[in-house]
Structure 1
Amino acid sequence: MMNKLKVGVIGCGSIAKYRHLPEYAQNQQTEIAAVCDIVKERVDAFAEQYGAKAYTSYEELLADPAIDAVSVCTPNYLHAPVSIAALQAGKHVLCEKPMATSKEEAEAMVAAAEASGKKLMIAHNQRFVPSHQKARQLIESGKLGKIYSFRTAFGHGGPEGWSVDGAESWFFKKEQAFIGAMGDLGVHKTDLLRFILGEEFVEVGAFVETSAKKSADVDDTAVCVLKSESGIIGTLAASWSYVSKEDNSTIIYAENGIVRLEDDPVNSVIIQYKSGEVVKYELGGIQTNEAGGQTNTQVIDRFVQSIVENAEPAVSGTEGMKSLQVVLAALESQATKTIVKI
C-alpha cells in the first residue's frame, strides 16, 4: 500500500466545503493534511472537522515539504498566482475554474507545471457527468452523422445562495472575480462543448450584460454564438437570473437526430432519431448546488489518479486554457461589438 497523498486545500469557501474536502475525505488514497483560508474561524472549523493543520497564509502551507498536492479554491483573481506558487513549491495542483483571468496567466500556469514536472488539472466537472460522456461517445461513433448545431445553458438564481459570503460574495466583485456568470458558469459549458464535439471554437459573438444583480460589477446574463472549426454553430447562455430553477441542459442537433442532455428530470439523455425512434437513458443526474446535490463529481478522484499513475490529468492546464479563451473572446466581443476570432 502506497503512502497516502497529503493534500492541502487553499480557500475554504463553498466549493471546498461541498466538493473538494468531502471528496478528498472519501478518496482512499488521500489524507487532508492542511487547510487554508484568510478567515481564521472558518479555517479552524474545517481543520477540526478533518483533523488537518490550519493556515491563514497559503505561502506558509506551501512551505510545508510534507504536502504533496493542493486544491486552489480561492477567488478567481488568485487562481494563477497561488497555482504557480504551489507548482514552484513542488506541489501538484487542482485549480478551480475559470483557471485564470487572462490568456497570459493561463500560459504562465501551464509553463510552471511543465517546469516543475507536477500535475496541473482544472476542475471542469461537466466532462465527467454520465450523460455528457454518453453524448461524446455517440458523436464520436458517427451514429448521429454530421453535427449541425447546438444550444447549451447554465443558469441559476446566482451565487448568493451558494457562496459562503452570500450577497457580499467575491463573486460579485470585479477586482476579485474578474468575470461573473460567464466565468462561473459559461466556462463550464465552453469546456463541455469542446469535449463533446471534439472540436475547437474559432469564432465568438456575444452579448454579456449585467441585468439582474444591481449591485454587481460583473456580468450576470450572457448569450453567446459560437462557431467551431468544422462550422458547427450554436448558442451558449450563462446566467445568474434564472430565479426559480437551475438550467444545465445541452441540446445537439445532428443529421440523424436530436440529443437532449440534462433536459428532462428523469432521463439524462434523450435521443430523438430522424426515423421517429426515441431512445432514453436514465444515467443519474448532474451535480447541482440545490439540496441533496452531493454526488461525487469525480474531479478529485481523477486528479488523484493522474498523480498516482503519473498520467496526463483528465483536464490539463492546456485544456483549461482553451476553454477559458472562448470566454475571453466573448468578453472581447461584448466590448468591441464584433465577432472575435480565436
Structure 2
Amino acid sequence: MHRTKVALLGAGFIADIHFESYHRFIPEAEVVAVYARNADKAKAFAEKHGIPQWYDDLDAIINDSGCEVVDICLPNFLHCTATLKAAAAGKHIIIEKPLAVTLEEADAMIAACKQANVKLMYAEELCFAPKYERVRKMVKDGGVGEVYMLKQGEKHSGPHSEWFYNKQLAGGGVLMDMGCHAIEWFRWMTNNSRAVSVYATMSTVLHKDITECEDNSVMIIEFENGVVGIAENSWAKHGGMDDRCEVYGTGGVVYADLFMGNAAVSYSKHGYDYAMEKADTTIGWSFTIFEEVFNQGYPHELKHFIDCVQHDKQPLVTGEDGRAVLEIIYAAYASAAEGRKIMLPFHPKVERPVDLWIEGRKK
C-alpha cells in the first residue's frame, strides 16, 4: 500500500492532535518530517513521536523532505507564506483555521494552488465530527422539517499559546480563533447558502491585561435561504471546553454537545430515517447515538484529504470555503464597531480583521 508522505508544519498543540490522528487512524499516510521555527522544539517533537526528519527551515522541509502533502498547523500570520511556498513546490495542502489573516492573503493562496494544480483543503473539523455529522444526517433525513435557525457555540477560558492574544500574529481574538468554526458549520448545514448579512457584538472581559482583541462575541448571520445562524464564542468562560450545537426546524429540534454524553438529544414530530422505515421509533424525544471516535473529527478530515490526494478528488471543504468564512468574520468585526447590520459581500482593506473593531470604536 502506498503511504502518502506528510510534512507537518508546526510543533504545538494542534500539531500534536494532527500527528496522533495520522498515527492512530490513517495508515494510508506517514508523517515523514516536522517543522518548527525553534530548532529545539522541532527536534523534541520529532523525537517524541518518532518522526525521522525535523527542520527549522521552511523551504528545506517543503523541498527536501520528500513529502507529498504539507499539513499547516502554524500561527495565523504564517499561513499565507507557507501555502505559497508549498504550492510553488507542487505539494498538496491542508491548512488549519482560519485560512488566512486577510482576504487578500486568502485570494493569493487560492490562486497559487489553482495555478500549481495542487489541492487545498480548509481543515474545518466540525464538518467531520461524528456527533455533528449524525445531526446533519438527521436533518437531511427530514427529522426536524425545514430548518429555520442554527446555533453553535465554542467557549473556554483562553488559548494555550501567547500568540493567539497578539493581533499582529492572530489577526483577531476569539472570533478568528473559534467563531470561524460556527460560520463554516452553518454553511455546511445549509449546503453553502450565501450569507447576506452579519450583526455582531463583542467585548474584552477577562483578558484586558494581555490583549486588545475580543474575548467574548455573539454573531447573527442571515443566509440567503432564510436560515439564521447564531454563534456564541468566548475565551472568558471558566470550567473547561464547551462545544455544542442546536438545530431548530418546523418539525423538530436537535441539541448536540460535542464533549458531553454519547448522544444527540432530539425531538421530531414525524420521525426520520424514512428510507429504513423506522420513523415510528424516532417520533418524539430520542437520543441518537453517534460514532464514538475522536469526537472533534480531526482524523476524519485528515483521512478524507489523504484520500483526495491519493484518488485525485476534490476536498469537501476548500480554500474558497475558508475565504467565505473570513469575509463573514470581517463583517462581524465591522458590525460590532458600528452597531449595525453589515451586508455582504464585504471587502474593506485592512491589515488585520480585528482592526475593523478596534479602530472603528474610536471614530
**TM-score, length basis structure 2:** 0.85
Question: How many angstroms does 1:319 deviate by?
Answer: 1.5
Q: Where does 1:41-80 land on structure 2 (aligned, <5 Å)?
A: 41-48=40-47, 49-64=49-64, 66-80=66-80
- 1:166 is matched with which residue? none
Question: How many angstroms does 1:86 deviate by?
Answer: 0.7
The amino acid that maps onto 1:32 is V
Structure 1 CA distance for aligned equivalents of residues 292 and 243 of structure 2 = 11
Structure 1 position 14 matched with structure 2 position 16: no
CA contact (8 A) 2:77 2:169 kept: yes
SS in 1 for 2:219: strand
The amino acid that maps onto 1:270 is V
Structure 1 position 192 matched with structure 2 position 185: yes
Pairwise CA RMSD: 2.1
Percent identity of equivalent pairs: 28
Question: How many angstroms does 1:196 deviate by?
Answer: 1.4
Structure 2 CA distance for aligned equivalents of residues 66 and 86 of structure 1 = 12
Structure 2 CA distance for aligned equivalents of residues 286 and 232 of structure 1 = 30
The amino acid that maps onto 2:264 is V
SS in 2 for 1:77: helix
CA contact (8 A) 1:139 1:197 kept: no
SS in 1 for 2:299: coil
- 2:284 is matched with which residue? 277
- 1:36 is matched with which residue? 35
1:24 to 11, 17, 22: 22
CA contact (8 A) 2:87 2:93 kept: yes
Moved over 3 A (4+): 284-288
Compared with structure 1, are the counterparts of its residues 340 and 285 closer, same or farther at alpha carbon in structure 2 (3 Å cutoff)?
A: farther
The worse-fitting range, judged by mean Cα deviation, of 176-185 and 59-68 is: 59-68
1:116-175 Cα shifts (integer Å, max 9, x gaps): 111111110011112221222233333422222232211111113xx4xxxxx1011111
Compared with structure 1, are the counterparts of its residues 265 and 51 closer, same or farther at alpha carbon in structure 2 (3 Å cutoff)?
A: closer
Gaps of 5+ in 2: 271-282, 345-363
1:297 to 296, 299, 302: 299
Compared with structure 1, are the counterparts of its residues 264 and 309 closer, same or farther at alpha carbon in structure 2 (3 Å cutoff)?
A: closer
Q: Where does 1:97-116 land on structure 2 (aligned, <5 Å)?
A: 97-116=97-116
CA contact (8 A) 1:133 1:196 kept: no
CA contact (8 A) 1:268 1:285 kept: no
CA contact (8 A) 2:32 2:65 kept: no
Structure 2 CA distance for aligned equivalents of residues 327 and 97 of structure 1 = 12
The amino acid that maps onto 2:313 is A
Structure 1 CA distance for aligned equivalents of residues 180 and 198 of structure 2 = 13
- 1:228 is matched with which residue? 223
State how many pairs are aligned: 328
Compared with structure 1, are the counterparts of its residues 61 and 174 closer, same or farther at alpha carbon in structure 2 (3 Å cutoff)?
A: same
CA contact (8 A) 1:5 1:31 kept: yes
**TM-score, length basis structure 1:** 0.90
Compared with structure 1, are the counterparts of its residues 202 and 256 closer, same or farther at alpha carbon in structure 2 (3 Å cutoff)?
A: same
Compared with structure 1, are the counterparts of its residues 206 and 60 closer, same or farther at alpha carbon in structure 2 (3 Å cutoff)?
A: same
Gaps of 5+ in 1: 164-168
1:316 to 309, 318, 322: 318
